């Protein structure tokens, strides 16, 4: 049986990424709750801009009879479906990773509740990343 001093704190990917020691290239969403808040703020800031630029284009396409020629309408619909599917897959992948890390840490006796909640804090950032990517590309294209 191990002594209590030998047990290190739960060292899941959450703790490493929260310290900034993951060595990633920054393409993945961070695990810090501030990243989730930043994602939500970006979403709130860019959505009205994209809507203001896109609505006149959608209205102008109402006079086009063929749905195949309504480029902006097609983009508006297909981008949302793609972003929702990608966000759902990212959410499920992060959820599974968090649960597996929790189970492994609990079985090894390294469970810390703060790290448990930290791992699940990345769910929002993971799910919003595809939506934010589409929103940013629309803002760049329309602006």
Sign of the Cα torsion 24, 30, 46, 83 reads: positive
Mean pLDDT of the chain: 75
Give a yes or no: residue 118 inside a domain. Answer: yes
Range of the domain at 44: 32-142
The answer to whether the beta carbons of residues 54 and 142 sit under 8 Å apart is yes
Work out the pLDDT band at 112, boundaries 50, 70, 90.
Answer: confident
Give a yes or no: residue 15 inside a domain. Answer: no
The answer to whether the beta carbons of residues 50 and 139 sit under 8 Å apart is yes
Give a yes or no: residue 71 inside a domain. Answer: yes
> Which residues, at least 6 apart from 116, have a Cβ–Cβ distance to it below 8 Å?
10, 98, 102
**Residue predicted with more confidence, 16 or 74:** 74
The answer to whether the beta carbons of residues 128 and 39 sit under 8 Å apart is yes
- Residue 10 pLDDT > 50, yes or no? no
pLDDT score of 115: 65
pLDDT score of 97: 85
Rounded to whole angstroms, the maximal C-alpha distance in the chain is 76
Q: How many domains does the chain have?
A: 1
Q: Give Cα 80 distance to the centre of its chain.
A: 14
Give a yes or no: residue 5 inside a domain. Answer: no
Give a yes or no: residue 96 inside a domain. Answer: yes
**Residue predicted with more confidence, 138 or 114:** 138
Least confident range of 11-15, 27-31, 133-137 = 11-15
The answer to whether the beta carbons of residues 119 and 13 sit under 8 Å apart is yes
Work out the pLDDT band at 121, boundaries 50, 70, 90.
Answer: low
């Amino acid at each position: 049986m191990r002594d209590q001093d030998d047990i290190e704190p739960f060292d899941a990917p959450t703790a490493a990424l929260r310290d900034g020691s993951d060595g990633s290239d920054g393409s993945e969403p961070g695990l810090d709750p501030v990243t989730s808040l930043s994602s939500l703020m970006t979403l709130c800031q860019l959505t009205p801009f994209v809507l203001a630029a896109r609505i006149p284009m959608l209205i102008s396409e109402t006079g086009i009879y063929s749905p195949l020629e309504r480029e902006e309408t097609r983009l508006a619909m297909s981008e949302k479906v793609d972003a929702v599917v990608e966000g759902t897959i990212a959410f499920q992948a992060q959820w599974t990773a968090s649960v597996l890390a929790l189970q492994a840490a609990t079985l090894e006796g390294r469970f810390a509740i703060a790290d448990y909640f930290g791992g699940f804090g990345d769910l929002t950032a993971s799910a919003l990343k595809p939506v934010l990517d589409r929103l940013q590309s629309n803002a760049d294209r329309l602006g």
